[in-house]
Amino acid sequence: MAFSLAETWDFFADLTSLHWTPNTTMKRILLILPLSAALLVPTYLLAQDHDQDNDDHHDDRHHVYDKHHKDYHDFDDHEDRDSSVNGAVFSRDESRILTWSQDGTARLWDVRTGAQIGPALRHDSSVFGAVFSRDESRILTWSQDGTARLWDVRTGAQIGPALRHDSSVNGAVFSRDESRILTWSQDKTARLWDARTGAQIGSALPHDSSVTGAVFSRDESRILTWSQDGTARLWDVRTGAQIGPALRHDSSVNGAVFSRDESRILTWSQDKTARLWDAPQYASRNPRNLAIGGDR
């Protein structure tokens, strides 16, 4: 839909008249400005609005707004009104929204009606994250309670036992075929699980401090992890053995990725550097690294 210049100015007038606070976070907005000055605006904007001007109306609800910024639906039935909603995602067709909260639950919502779909997916402490399976028949959640859990979207029932760490679970992902689940935790380990049975596959992959991220290699024969211990490490999925030496920074490693051909690994850290490494090989050797940044 194209807008005239006058309508474009009306849109921005509506936008600036909205009550904004420093914590207002626009979750979905796309502005396309071609040379003709036409403006394309999506139907919905998802925002998290915190009214800081009135403590009696402090609000951690999620809202869906229409393109004229009229309140459309609140997703506000998380149980503890003092508990922050930690995150939210759309389903693929955007007919549903999945939220997760410090109240220990994840919840599914109908975008059209604002109604909760099925029961809350319940943990014993704050839920740190949630993802749909590829066909959106299952939801994977992870929590401060030291578990990741798999749920049936249709019934809301937990599928199999909880995937249990000894401390908060920082994240979780499905393998490509979704037969396995990779989790990482403040208990200083990453772990691989059978999604059908909930059984742990092999031994834990240990670090010396909280593991803050993990990814599979493309063929899922290796796992790359990174940690607050200042290292990234590469692991053999079949044996659970570490491949080569740790890739070492001088402070917590904030993230890591493979290059496209997976011959190199890029890491970045609180030590003020990003570093590029030859991916460790099965025969242990010192990987080359190129440091970028840091104090000169």
Q: Which two tokens stand for residue 255?
A: 């993230």
Indicate whether this model's pTM tops 0.85.
no
In the chain, residues under CATH classification 2.130.10.10 are 83-293
HEC per residue, 226-258: EECCCEEEEEECCCCCECCCCEECCCCEEEEEE
Question: What pLDDT was estimated at residue 56?
Answer: 43
How many Å apart are CA 164 and CA 104, to the nearest integer? 16
| pLDDT, tens digit only, all 296 positions of the chain | 444 444 444 444 444 444 444 443 333 333 333 333 333 333 333 333 333 333 444 445 555 544 434 455 565 555 555 679 999 999 999 999 999 999 999 999 999 999 999 999 999 999 999 999 999 999 999 999 999 999 999 999 999 999 999 999 999 999 999 999 999 999 999 999 999 999 999 999 999 999 999 999 999 999 999 999 999 999 999 999 999 999 999 999 999 999 999 999 999 999 999 999 999 986 544 566 767 776 64
Domain 83-293 has CATH 2.130.10.10: yes
Helix (H, G, I), strand (E, B), or coil: what is residue 55? helix
Question: What pLDDT was estimated at residue 53?
Answer: 36
